[in-house]
């Protein structure tokens, strides 16, 4: 059976699952959000990560249906956290290039928000630089439609893409996610610190908030705090875990 066929079947029978990775505000070390990360719970092979199947889902177009499932599941989870009386958290959902270029993404997001009954401010859509570079006017229109729904918009893996800074000013984006490559370099050399500092300063000068990804050590967290980075995400705080484990984590965190 082809991987494409297996993925379709897996989606149909409910073998995909979202894991959740915590995000913490550095100033007061308070849990403020999470990123939803898809996993395939394969009956024979165990947990399979997205790097093994997202590229195929992209190529075949299945990502559109899968992405819709991710949005619905993420919003259902937000609703359930609310019912379980967790403090209000923001949940980040990754949007793929193909999904972004589907004509009706804003309608899809609006529909999922309405059906789930979540507060749109709790939903954050993670976009990449390459999506924002594609086509000026239609991209701007779509971003405005999304922003008008009340969701927030982040740029994922910031610094790894085209790094044309013009779009940062032009588009209604709220947050820059500093790629973990830069965070890893923080410990190594002065250049690493200079780059991270420059990204944080640039973001702040445009009134954007910053989340550093892939934070693994206390010394990285301390350097980021000193540079005024707003939030961190990474193994230092917690790995991506199934929903039930995340709820337990959230209850015990503060």
Residues 108-127 that bind ligand G (CB under 6 A): none
Here the tokens at position 246 are 């995340």
By CB under 6 A, tell whether 51 contacts ligand G: yes
For residue 220, state whether it binds ligand G (rule: CB under 6 A).
Answer: no
Task: Report the residue from 11, 17, 50, 147 that binds ligand G according to the rule CB under 6 A.
Answer: 50
Residue 165 corresponds to which tokens in the numbers above? 């800074």
- Considering only residues 33 through 62, tell me which ones interact with Na ion, judged by CB under 5 A: none
CB of 178 to Na ion, least distance (A): 9
What is the number of alpha carbons within 13 Å of residue 174 lying toward its C-beta? 18
- When CB distances to Na ion are compared, the closest residue is 157
DSSP code per residue over 49-68: -GGGTHHHHHHHSHHHHHHH
231 in contact with ligand G (CB under 6 A): no
DSSP secondary structure of 148-165: HTT-EEEEEEETSS---T
Q: How many residues bind to ligand G according to rule CB under 6 A?
A: 21
Q: How many whole angstroms separate alpha carbon 254 and alpha carbon 252? A: 6
Residues 60, 131: Cα–Cα separation, whole Å:
18
| Binding mask of the shown chain, residues 166 to 195, with x at each position contacting ligand G by CB under 6 A | --------------x---------------
Under the binding rule (CB under 5 A), the answer on residue 129 touching Mn ion is no
Exactly one of 62, 70, 110, 196 binds ligand G (CB under 6 A); that residue is 70
Q: Does 126 bind Mn ion (CB under 5 A)?
A: yes
Task: Assign 6 to helix, strand or coil.
Answer: helix
Instruction: Please enumerate in sequence order all residues whose Cβ is within 8 A of that of 168, keeping only pairs 6 or more positions apart, or say none.
Output: 155, 176, 202, 203, 206, 208
Q: 183 with 215: CB under 8 angstroms?
A: yes
**Residue 157 interacting with Na ion (CB under 5 A):** yes
Residue placing its CB nearer to ligand G in the complex, 94 or 197: 94
Which residue, chain included where needed, has tokens 């989606």?
11
Check residue 231 for interaction with Mn ion (CB under 5 A): no
Q: For ligand G, which is the closer residue by CB, 23 or 197?
A: 23
Q: Using CA atoms, how far apart are residues 133 and 143, in angstroms rounded to an integer?
A: 12
Identify which range of 90-98, 102-110, 212-220, 224-232 contacts Na ion by CB under 5 A: 212-220
* 65 scored as a contact of Na ion (CB under 5 A): no
Which of 35, 124, 129, 156 is close enough to bind Na ion by CB under 5 A?
A: 156
At 252, list the tokens: 């015990």
Q: Which two tokens stand for residue 208?
A: 């954007």
Judged by CB under 5 A, the stretch of 10-18, 67-75, 150-158, 181-189 that binds Na ion is: 150-158
What residues line the site for Mn ion (CB under 5 A)? Answer: 94, 126, 156
What residues line the site for Na ion (CB under 5 A)? Answer: 156-157, 213
């Amino acid at each position: 059976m082809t991987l494409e066929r297996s993925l379709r079947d897996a989606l149909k029978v409910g073998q995909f699952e979202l894991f959740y990775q915590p995000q913490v505000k550095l100033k007061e070390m308070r849990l403020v959000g999470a990123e939803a990360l898809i996993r395939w719970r394969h009956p024979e092979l165990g947990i399979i990560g997205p790097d093994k199947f997202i590229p195929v889902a992209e190529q075949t177009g299945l990502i559109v249906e899968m992405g819709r499932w991710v949005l619905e599941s993420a919003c259902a989870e937000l609703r359930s956290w609310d019912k379980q009386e967790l403090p209000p958290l923001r949940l980040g959902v990754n949007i793929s290039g193909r999904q972004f270029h589907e004509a009706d993404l804003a309608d899809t997001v609006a529909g999922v928000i309405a059906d789930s009954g979540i507060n749109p401010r709790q939903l954050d859509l993670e976009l990449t630089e390459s999506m924002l570079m594609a086509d000026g006017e239609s991209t701007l229109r779509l971003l405005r439609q999304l922003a008008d729904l009340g969701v927030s918009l982040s740029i994922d893996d910031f610094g790894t893409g085209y790094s044309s800074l013009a779009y940062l000013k032009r588009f209604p984006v709220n947050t820059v996610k500093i790629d973990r490559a830069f965070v890893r370099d923080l410990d190594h050399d002065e250049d690493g610190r200079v780059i991270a500092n420059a990204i944080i300063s640039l973001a702040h000068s445009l009134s954007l908030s910053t989340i550093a990804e892939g934070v693994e050590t206390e010394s990285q967290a301390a350097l980021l705090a000193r540079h005024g980075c707003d939030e961190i995400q990474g193994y230092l705080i917690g790995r991506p875990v199934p929903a039930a484990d995340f709820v337990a984590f959230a209850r015990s965190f503060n």
